[in-house]
Amino acid sequence: MENGFIILFGLTMLYLAATSRLVAHIRLLVVQGILLFLICACNFEHQHALNIAFLTVETLIVKSIVIPWFLFKVVKKTHANRDIGANIPHFYCLVTASIILIAGFLVSNYFTGSSTMKMISPIYFGVSIATIIISLWLITIKHKIISNVIEFITMENGIFLLSLSVAKEMPVLVNMGVLLDVFIAIYILGLFVNEINREFNDLEVSNLSDLKDYNND
């Protein structure tokens, strides 16, 4: 069951790579949040009540309600609809993302032989690393800054999955601080998206390339 959810999580990244509508991307974040909750829920019997409460709040409330709601508001306000004109056509994006995902599985399977990897499930590890890499790669090819924010969130989701894979608990204080920081970071990025929209009237990344050393003025 757990593995099924993780594989679904990996597949959401392929969907992200292959589509261009921003609203669909944000809906995907909701799906990812719910999947992360289900993955956590499979391990709930081994954990403290405090940790269960925290994970539920983090995945169900913050990751699948608050952040997507905030992004919906930003998209509505800035009238951003699609991220067209990415550097690479969607089909090739899909192919590359699939290759990264498969490579994630292969690499993690390769490492399961070593002794220290015993406590990490290879499927967790492979999907989370692939998610992080696909997100970073998508950040480099997308043209709208709001897509960059969305991919930043999927990267954070990948890191969250990775931290679940270690099956060791960090102090609750650390977990809460991390969540708070990530949340504020997304909030600030969202505010900046609005400001950039106000200042430049669109959300193209290419607007933000004025500060450099080798220009001719």
Partner 1 sequence: MINVILIFPIVACILMALIKKRAFDCAMVNVYALLHIVSTTLLALNIGRENNIPYFTVDNTNLIFLIILSLVFFMVAIYNTGYTKTLDYPDKKIGHYSFMIMVFVLAMTGTILSSNLGIAWIFVEATTLSSAYLIYFNKTKHSIEAAWKYVFICSIGIALAFVGIIFLNIAQGNINTLDFAQLYKNALLFDPFWLKLSFVFMLFGFGTKMGLAPVHFWLPDAHSEAPSPISALLSATLLNSAFLVIVRVFKVLDIAQCDAWARTMLLITGFVSLFVTAVFVYHIKNYKRMLAYSSIENMGILAIGTALGGAALYAVILHLIGHSLAKASFFLTSGNVLELFNTKRIKSVRGLMEADKKTGWLWIFSFLAICAFPTSVLFISEFIMIKTMIIEKHYLLCALFVILLTIVLWGIGRVVIKTTFDKLSEDKVQSVQENKKKLCACMFIPQAIMLIIVFVLGVYIPPFLNSIINCATAGF
Q: How far is the CB of 54 from partner 1 (least distance, A)?
A: 14
Q: Does 169 bind partner 1 (CB under 8 A)?
A: yes
Beta strands in 54-170 (DSSP E): none
Two tokens, residue 175: 């977990």
Two tokens, residue 91: 């089909």
Q: How far is the CB of 36 from partner 1 (least distance, A)?
A: 16
Q: Does 206 bind partner 1 (CB under 8 A)?
A: no
Indicate the SS3 state at residue 6.
Answer: helix
Which range touches partner 1 (CB under 8 A), out of 55-63, 85-93, 101-109, 161-169? 161-169
**Burial bucket for residue 117 (CB in 10 Å: 0-12, 13-18, 19+):** middle
Residue 50: enclosing H or E segment and its boundaries?
Answer: helix 49-56
* Distances from the Cα of 50 to the Cα of 63, 163, 173, 181, angstroms: 18, 17, 11, 20
Q: Does 107 bind partner 1 (CB under 8 A)?
A: no
Residue nearer to partner 1 on the CB measure, 89 or 116:
116
Q: Site residues (CB under 8 A) for partner 1?
A: 114, 116-117, 119-120, 132, 136, 139, 145, 148, 152, 155-156, 159, 162-163, 166, 168-171, 173-174, 177-178, 180-182, 184-185, 188-189, 192, 195-196, 199-200, 207-211, 213-214, 217
